[in-house]
Amino acid sequence: MAKDLKTMFIRCCGYLQDPHHVASFQKFCGVQGSFPVKLSRKEWENDFFVNGACVKRHQDQSGNGAGHVGGQQIEGPLQRKSVTAGEQHNDCSSKLQHGTALVSGIGETTEQQIVSHEGNRQSSGCRLIGKPSKVVASDRENADSSGRVKPLRRNSLTGDVGQEFIIQNKFLFYLFTFGSELGNEMFFIVFFPFLIWNVDAFVSRRILVVWIWNLFLGQSTKDIVRWTRPASPPVVKVEVFYNSEYSMPSTHAMSGTAIPFSLFLLTYGRWQYPFLFGLSLAICWSFLVCVSRVYMGMHSVLEVITGFLYSLLILAVFQSTLDQIDSFYLTSHHAPLVIVILHVGLGFLAFTLDSWSTSRGDTAQALGTGAGAALASHLNHQLGLLADPPLSSLPLALPPLSAALLARSLLRLLLGVVVLLATRAAMKAATIPLACRVFGLPAGDVRQARQHMEVELSYRYIVYGTVSFSCVCLVPLLFSYLNLS
């Protein structure tokens, strides 16, 4: 019985990991890739593409595949594997470990590309990129009416700008782009300050703790599991910014679940509003972020579901300890030392899990943000600044909306975010060259320099620690000086 359940669970995971489900959802939502048409099986056995050039493959005496590109012979075995439905049961576990399991129907045969981790992360060298083909004529016809677009941002690691694709439903494109942005840096640099300056610093401190632990555990799990992104084709990469990272679990789904549900749990009972309103907002927020990651082609269904459940587990563990953590950060004389050691130590731990990737930088960025905010909260408490409302005033009533209230809130937000962005730009311009000079590294290529742990850790902690410290402590002082509190 237990063995049957395990087998069923593995098959279910393999089914949910299938990139064809992602491609089908994208097609349903009006996303069409500019992929070439698949050749016949016989043509595929004789041809493949290496670095964009057609290669004729033949078998040498040793049985290895070899080919020619531009008159030069390419040696080595063909990196692909034929998987039949009968073999799928025995091979499912190893496929899941690589995040590339393809589930086919009865009697079907699927072609699977097996690419090494290092091959995915390097733009140089020969690599198999898919079945050769003829250009799709219908793509050009659809492009005339719908228009071709490219991902909004290039890949942060490789500089890849991505492949053109066709959007046939612009409403869903903008909706899911917005949902995806709810897990990106610019949203956090607006959301958390707005919460601190205009809503409730008490709630924001606790949400920051949950968010930081979600990102640390999620990104670290990615580097341990090491599943690659959904295969393209068949998936259309509507977003390529995070394409170099591993994908299991979806940290967008994790943060998109942790933030709205922790916001609901921390504010309901503290603020007066209907229960169903708060719960519905949290569910819709989380659902939009999770579905957007499938739409963007960044995650399989399994990875999004795993991120959602993983985040709920972390939230359940930390929810009962948030009061103790916040009280320690505010009142303990040892808090500054513990905050620095904890957040820096977790950053060093994250950097030992795998070779350099953007996920490690994101982890250090979240930890640096948490350290700066915690230190600023401790200083505020010691100086008697931004005091929390007394318990006797709870539950807090939502103030009536007025033009003056909206204008004051927007003015605080705009002025404060401008200060934070200016602080980030100035610290970024100064920190990377300084770190390169201190550690004796060349500073000419910023991207290459940031692949060194010493530079990346220094940059992330100093820049985002300063930004979050300014957000929690210095900007509110500026508001007091300008009579905007």
Please answer whether residues 96 and 76 qualify as being in contact, where contact means their C-beta atoms are separated by less than 8 angstroms.
Answer: no
In sequence order, which residues have a C-beta less than 8 Å from that of residue 88 and are 6 or more positions away?
14, 103, 104
Active-site residue, from 20, 68, 117, 252: 252
Q: Which of 244, 355, 271, 265 is CA-nearest to residue 315?
A: 265
CA triplet 8, 14, 19: central angle to 5 degrees?
Answer: 155
Cα–Cα distance for residue pair 289/256, rounded to 1 Å: 6
Concerning whether 299 is annotated as a catalytic residue, the answer is yes
Give alpha helix (H) positions in 320-402. Answer: 322-331, 335-351, 358-383
Q: Which of 378, 388, 338, 408 is CA-nearest to residue 473?
A: 378
Cα–Cα distance for residue pair 184/195, rounded to 1 Å: 17
DSSP β-ladder status, 65-69 and 72-74: antiparallel
Q: How would you label 427-455 residue by residue, b for 16+ Cβ within 10 Å and e otherwise?
A: beeebbeebbeeeebeeeeeeebbbebeb
Cα–Cα distance for residue pair 103/301, rounded to 1 Å: 13
Burial-class residue 299 by CB neighbours within 10 Å (0-12, 13-18, 19+): buried
Cα–Cα distance for residue pair 363/373, rounded to 1 Å: 16
Active-site residue, from 21, 299, 378, 381: 299
The amino acid at 209: V
Concerning whether 21 is annotated as a catalytic residue, the answer is no
Quote the crossing angle between the two packed helices 201-225 and 185-194, to the nearest 10°. Answer: 160
Please answer whether residues 131 and 39 qualify as being in contact, where contact means their C-beta atoms are separated by less than 8 angstroms.
Answer: yes
Please answer whether residues 35 and 233 qualify as being in contact, where contact means their C-beta atoms are separated by less than 8 angstroms.
Answer: yes
Residues designated as active site: 252, 299
